Amino acid sequence: MLKHSVIVAALSAAVAAPQVHAADKKEQKELAEIRAEIRQMKDAYEARLQALEQRLQQAQSDAAAAKAQLAAPAVASAAAPATTPPADAVAAAPYVETPAVPSAVGGANAPSNLFNPNISMILGGTLQNLKQDPTQYRLQGFAPSGGEVGPGKRGFSLGESELTMAANIDPQFAGQLTFSLSGDNEVSVEEAFVQTRAMENGLNIKAGRFLSSIGYLNSQHAHTWDFVDAPLAYQAFLGGQYKPDGVQAKWLAPIDQFLEIGVEAGSGSGFPGNDRDKNGAGAVSVFAHIGDDIGDAASYRAGVSYLHTGAEQRAYEDQGLTNSFSGKTNMWIADAIYKWAPNGNPTNTNFKLQGEYFRRKETGTLDYAVDTAEAANGSYRSTQSGWYLQSVYQFMPTWRAGLRYDRLSSGSQRIGLIDSGVLGWASLPVLEAYDPSRTSFMIDYSPSEFSRLRLQLARDKSRPGVTDNQIFLQYIMSLGTHAAHSF
């Protein structure tokens, strides 16, 4: 019996052996496949982890390069109080600094001055309807200036377009070049300057050609103005705008309030000076501006400026004859602006009140009928003044309305040729005493921060017995990146 059981067990094992062997082979195959999948997943994970580590290293290198480039930003040219200023200028996106690109020679952290500037274009044009002949325009009592005086020509005009290129040069310097393109196919350099970026203690230096920081409106490009044209005071005393070729130094005080003090030295070739072919500084100006918040809804800025320059045979036309002034000019400017917006947010509604006062004293000689047989000269002294006051109210997110009043006073003029009896006022009619004035109203529509359409009506009384009713239609369009405008 026992023998029989052993035989049965042996036969059973013999039958089951192939089945167990087949199961083992199947299990081993499955295990091998699982191990292969795990190995593939591990290899893929390690490859991905390595790629992520390389990206992290590259990002750290790029961040270090950008930090080196942006470590010491320049002091803002016109800092504003905490209240956000109203959207009073047509501007595209604010100027964005471009970080340095790693140098192949110096490594990832080396600075680069690869030319990758911010480029912007301002396109403008007007349609003008003028009651009086613009070729006869004059500011009575004031010698015509060397810049933009008068309302311009009748009909359609391309106006002034601007092309600006701005970029960082290296961690210490930035640069900007602005071309002005007139409707008469003339190209001029509006601004071309380099500016420091890494100076300490609130100091900033600019060199080249730039819009002077005297007054308030002078430092702003024309497309940011609230009216089509410059105030009469700017036309009479600065020839539109004062743009020296020279150097400017500004100091921004490290206090909670805005306090800025600056000085400029230039060639003096711009009106009220002229090109005198001399060494050194032909014009010097100093200025100081203060500002602060008034509660949560308002802010202000006020300032005073002084300009000293000179002229040598600064010519102007009068009755077909050329006269000229040679001597010194001293000018004071006081400016102030107040801005209000509900809760400091100017998006929907805001208001601003702005004004400037000019006072100019000139001393020298007046040459009459230069290069003619009637030529004569004598002493000349004058103290003249002018001012404007304007308000602009944004009553809807895209609509604004504004009112401006200008007035000039020819003041006291002591002209030697007239005082001595050599000439009468009939020989110098442009200089005969008068107080020009003008009232302007505007309404504009800005569908976006890049475009503006404006209608302006003006009643101009710049010479005796003549009233010029003026109508302006203007468009201003902004393309590309453009620097943020000052307060």
Average pLDDT for residues 203-216, to the nearest whole number? 96
pLDDT tens digits along 215-269: 999 999 999 999 999 999 999 999 999 999 999 999 999 999 999 999 999 999 9
Query: Is residue 5's pLDDT more than 60?
Result: no
Answer with the residue of higher pLDDT: 87 or 63. Answer: 63
Token pair listed for 263: 């000085």
Give the chain's mean pLDDT: 83
| pLDDT value of residue 7 | 44
High-pLDDT (> 70) share of the chain, %? 76
Fold (topology level) of 118-480: Porin (2.40.160)
Closest to 212 (Cα-Cα) out of 181, 246, 162, 161 = 246
pLDDT tens digits, residue range 317-359? Answer: 888 899 999 999 999 999 999 999 998 888 889 999 999 999 9
| 152: confidence class by pLDDT, cuts 50, 70, 90 | confident
Residue-level pLDDT at 95: 39
pLDDT at 67: 56
Give the distance, in angstroms, between the CA of residue 194 and the centroid of all CA atoms in the same chain: 14
Per-residue pLDDT tens digits for 106-136: 444 545 556 678 899 999 999 999 999 998 8
Please report the pLDDT score of residue 143 as a whole number.
84
Q: Quick one: pLDDT at residue 61? A: 61
Residues 6+ apart with CB under 8 A from 176: 164, 165, 166, 191, 192, 193, 195, 483
> pTM here?
0.76
**Per-domain residue ranges of the chain:** 118-480
Query: Helix (H, G, I), strand (E, B), or coil: what is residue 395?
Result: strand
Torsion angle (degrees, nearest 10) of CA 176, 177, 182, 188: 130
Bridge partner list, 324: 315, 367
